[in-house]
Amino acid sequence: MDSIQMWQIIILTIYSFLAINESLMGNIGLIHPVFAGMLTGIVMGDLTLGLSVGGTLQLMQLGISAFGGASIPDFFTGAVVGTVFGILSGKGLNFAIGLAVPVGLLMVQLDIVARFTNTFLLHKIDKAIEEVNTKKIEYYTLLGALPWGLSRALPIMIILIFGEPIINVILNYLPDAIMGGLKVAGGVLPVVGIAILLRYLPTKQYIPYFIVGIVLAAYLKLPILGITLIGIALAILDFKKVNKKSIQAVIEKSTFEGGFAGDE
């Protein structure tokens, strides 16, 4: 197995610290697994594998959100760790996903710890509000970014520094049955994510589009970019059709009531 360089560890640690905090502010996408996989792939020198890992984990996360402050599997951290060791080990996508999934599930516990720490700071802010002390309010608000960022930065840094012996043990001693199970889980979870998402979308009226997509992908072997462009074209046509009907309905109603053409 190749070894990771210190500059790579530093960049990925800083990135993880910034990404988790950015998700609470502008949320431009740094926290998304597909972005994490892409950036990690660039840093590690294998953009293709990084995008494959990040994209697969992004599918797993579809339909899952931290509503009400709930803790969910952290596939962001999983994307970083899985991509790194997928590249270092030379085992590719299946191994990377098999490692990323348990890492993402384990990170749920640290997410809870970070939230608990920020609850302590929130009480400090409440007290500062009662005292009308704006400086303390600003101080404790900014201080809250520290435990939140460290909840991802520290685990990633520790895993990247000391994780190579662990990965070697996994490669040498993990039974084929377990590795096979992880590969199956890596293949099934994206489907589960998509199924959860489709459960809450008006899919019944768009069944013909699903059939078209399946034919293009399974039978015509069209690349995903080509299918995406066709999907965008169909979405634009559907939008124009619905918009035209809405405008026509407004015109007919206005004409009937005398709003545009009536003499009343």
Q: What pLDDT score was predicted for residue 254?
A: 65
pLDDT tens-digit map of 152-185 = 888 889 888 887 566 556 556 667 776 666 556 5
Say whether pLDDT at 127 is over 60: yes
* pLDDT greater at residue 263 or residue 254: 254
Q: What pLDDT score was predicted for residue 163?
A: 73
- Identify the weakest region by mean pLDDT among 57-61, 82-86, 198-202: 198-202
Say whether pLDDT at 1 is over 90: no
For the chain, the DSSP string reads -----HHHHHHHHHHHHHHHHHTTTT--STTSHHHHHHHHHHHHT-HHHHHHHHHHHHHHHTT---GGG-----HHHHHHHHHHHHHHHS-HHHHHHHHHHHHHHHHHHHHHHHHHHHHHHHHHHHHHHHTT-HHHHHHHHHHTHHHHHHHHHHHHHHHHHHHHHHHHHHHHHS-HHHHHHHHHHHHHHHHHHHHHHHHTS--GGGHHHHHHHHIIIIIS---HHHHHHHHHHHHHHHHHHHHHHHHHHHHHHHHHHTSSS---
Q: What pLDDT score was predicted for residue 56?
A: 87
Q: What pLDDT score was predicted for residue 89?
A: 81
Say whether pLDDT at 262 is over 60: no
pLDDT band at 143 (very low <50, low <70, confident <90, very high): confident
* pLDDT greater at residue 217 or residue 186: 217
The pTM for the full model equals 0.63
- Identify the weakest region by mean pLDDT among 84-93, 155-164, 193-202, 233-242: 193-202
